[in-house]
Structure 1
C-alpha cells in the first residue's frame, strides 16, 4: 500500500527528526501546499475570500493560542483582546506612515507587551483563577478601545485600513490578500512544529505537566510562563493585524468581543489541545461548519424537501453545531486531531489490524 513504514531506515539523526519522515506524509503535504498555492486559480473570488481566507487567518490565531494553552498549559479566555491590540496598533502605525512590514512587527510587540503584563498573573495563580485574570484583560481592553477615541474613534466608529504594500507588492487584489494570509499561516505552522522539537518546547511541556517538578530539574517556571505569554501574544498580535488588513479591512470594537475568545478556545479544544493539525481542523469546524449547515438547510427548504421556515434556518445550524461539538468531545476528548491520527494509524497497519498497539 501507499502508506507503509517499511523501507524507512534512518541512518542519521537529522532524518529521524524530520518533520515528515514517512514518504506518504511528505506527499500529502506537498499536495496540500500545491492546492493552497493554486487555490486562486480554480476557486471563485467568493469562495476564496469568504471561506479560504478567513479559515487561514483564524487557523493562525488558533495556532497562536495552541502555543499557550496546548504546549504551556496556560488558560487564556481573552485572546480576542490580543488580536484587537494587534489590529488597532497596525492601523495606527500604517496611518502614521510606517511601512506595513514594520507595522506588523509593532503590532506583535504591543500585543506581547500587554499580554505579558496580564500573563504575569500566571506566576501566582492557575486554573479558574488564571481564567478570571485573562477575562479581566478581555474586558479591560474592550473598555479602553471603546472609551478612548484616539484608539477607535468612539464606541460606534469604524476604523478603515489604509492601502499598504508588503515586500513592494500592493495588498489590494483578493489573490494578494489570500497569499499574505497563507504566508503568515505557513510561518506560524512551521514555527510551532519546530518549537515542539526544541529545548524551549520541551520546557513548556514540562511546565504544563507539573511546574514544581520542572523547577526541580532546572526549568524556571516563571521564565517560561512569561515567554509563553510573550510568544503567543506576539503571534496573536500579528495575526490580528493580518485579520484587519486582509479580511475585515475596517475594524470595530464588536469584532473582538468575548464571543470571539470563546470561539478561539473552542477551535483549540475541538481540534485537539496542543496539536498543530488540530488547529486547522478546529478552525474549519468552528468557522465553516455553521455556514455549510445553513447553506444545506436553505437548499433543502428552497425545494421544499423539508418543511422548515427560513426563520428557523438561522437557529437550527447553531443547535446542530453545538451538538456536534459535544459529540466530538464525548467521542474523542483529544479532538479532531486524534481522530485523524487514529485514521492514519489504521492505514499504517491495514489490513493487519491486530498488529496495532
Structure 2
C-alpha cells in the first residue's frame, strides 16, 4: 500500500537518502504545503494574522534554536536576545536606506557575530553553567537595548518598521507579509532537514552524544560548537527581523524579554529536540493551546456550564496549560514529534497483528 515501506526499493544511494522515501510522506508534505499556500483564500484575515502567521514565524525560531539544542546539545536560554539583535539591526538598516533583502542578511550576520562571541565564551562550560552564560547574554542585550537610545530610542520607545519591498514586491498587506513569513519558514525547514544529512550535522550529533569521543575520531568540538552557535544565531537573527516586519510591524524591548526565551525553549522541548516536525508542533502547542483553552473556558463560563469567579477563570487556562505540558513530558519525554512518529510507525504495518506488539 502507498503508506507502507513494502514496494519501496533502494537501488541508488540518492533514493536511500531521500527525505521522504515513502509515497504517503511525500503526499502529506505536498498537501500541507498546498494548504499553507492557499491559507489566505481559505481562512479569514483574523485567523491568518493572529494564528497562522505567528505560528509560522515562531516555528522558524524554534527550528533555529533546535539546531543548537537538539543537534549540537548546547543549552541556550537567551535566544530572544539573538532575535532582538536581528530585529533592531534590520530596522536601522532599512531606515538608513539599505534594501530589505540586504537588511535581512545584515540582521542574520550581526546576530551570528554576537552569538558566536558569546558562544566562544560559553564553550568552556557545560550544563547549568552554560545556561547561566546564555542568561548573562540575555540580560546584557536587554540592558544595552533599553539604556542605549541610539538603538531603541529609550526604555518605553517603539520603533515602527518602515514600508519595504522584497524582490521588487511591496510587503504591506497581510497576505504579502504572510507569504514572506511562510517562505522563510519553509526555507529554514528545508535547511534543518538537510543539515542532519551532511558532515556538519553528523559532527554536531557526535558532539551532542559524547564530545570527547567525537574528538577522538577527529571531530573538533570547539570548532563545530562555534559553527552551531553561528548558524543558529544567523537563522534566529533573520527570524527576528521577519517577526518585526511581518507580524509586530514595530519593535519594543518587551517583545524579546527573558520570558520569550523560556517560551522558545518550551517549544523545542515540548515539540521534540532535533525534530523538524517537533518545531511545528511545539510552536503550535505553546502559541495556540493557551488561546483555545481561554476561549473554551470563557465560553463555558458565559453559558453557565461552570460557576467560577472571574479571577479563577483568568488563571484556569494557565493551570490546564501547565498540566498539559507536564502530562506530555511524563507520557512521552521526547515530545510531540515522538508521539507523531509512533503513530506513523503504527500505520506502516497496520492492520497486521505485529503492529500491536
Instruction: Using structure 2 for the length normalisation, give the TM-score.
Output: 0.98
Residues 145-224 of structure 1: matches in 2 within 5 Å? 145-224=145-224
* 1:163-216 CA distance string (max 9 Å, x none): 001011111111101000000000000001000000000000011111111111
Q: Please state how far the C-alpha of 1:309 moved relative to its aligned partner.
A: 3.4
Q: In 1, are the aligned partners of 2:147 and 2:154 still within 8 Å (CA)?
A: yes
Residues 1-357 of structure 1: matches in 2 within 5 Å? 1-354=1-354
Distance 2:118 2:353 in 1: 49
Q: Please state how far the C-alpha of 1:355 moved relative to its aligned partner.
A: 5.1
Distance 1:136 1:122 in 2: 10
Q: In 2, are the aligned partners of 1:87 and 1:243 still within 8 Å (CA)?
A: yes
Secondary structure at 2:295 match in 1: helix
Distance 2:247 2:269 in 1: 24
* 1:57-77 CA distance string (max 9 Å, x none): 000000000000000000000
CA RMSD of aligned residues (A): 1.0
Q: Please state how far the C-alpha of 1:224 moved relative to its aligned partner.
A: 0.2
Distance 1:353 1:275 in 2: 29
Unaligned residue ranges in structure 1 (runs of 5+): none
Q: Please state how far the C-alpha of 1:5 moved relative to its aligned partner.
A: 1.2
Q: In 2, are the aligned partners of 1:298 and 1:310 still within 8 Å (CA)?
A: no
Unaligned residue ranges in structure 2 (runs of 5+): none
Distance 2:98 2:314 in 1: 43
Q: Please state how far the C-alpha of 1:12 moved relative to its aligned partner.
A: 1.2
Q: In 2, are the aligned partners of 1:301 and 1:310 still within 8 Å (CA)?
A: no
User: How many residues end up aligned between the 2 structures?
Assistant: 357
Q: Please state how far the C-alpha of 1:314 moved relative to its aligned partner.
A: 1.9
Distance 2:337 2:232 in 1: 21
Distance 2:259 2:53 in 1: 20
Distance 2:154 2:353 in 1: 62
Runs of 4+ residues deviating >3 angstroms: none
Secondary structure at 2:297 match in 1: helix
Q: In 1, are the aligned partners of 2:123 and 2:130 still within 8 Å (CA)?
A: no
Instruction: Using structure 1 for the length normalisation, give the TM-score.
Output: 0.98
Q: Please state how far the C-alpha of 1:340 moved relative to its aligned partner.
A: 0.2
Distance 1:31 1:163 in 2: 33
Secondary structure at 1:213 match in 2: helix
* 1:293-349 CA distance string (max 9 Å, x none): 011111111211221334332211111101100000000000000000000011011
Q: In 2, are the aligned partners of 1:301 and 1:309 still within 8 Å (CA)?
A: no
Distance 2:235 2:222 in 1: 20
Q: In 2, are the aligned partners of 1:349 and 1:356 still within 8 Å (CA)?
A: no
Q: Please state how far the C-alpha of 1:16 moved relative to its aligned partner.
A: 1.1
Q: Please state how far the C-alpha of 1:122 moved relative to its aligned partner.
A: 3.5
Q: For the structure 1 residues 355 and 285, does the alpha-carbon distance in structure 2 shift closer, same or farther, using more than 3 Å as the test?
A: closer
Q: Please state how far the C-alpha of 1:101 moved relative to its aligned partner.
A: 0.3
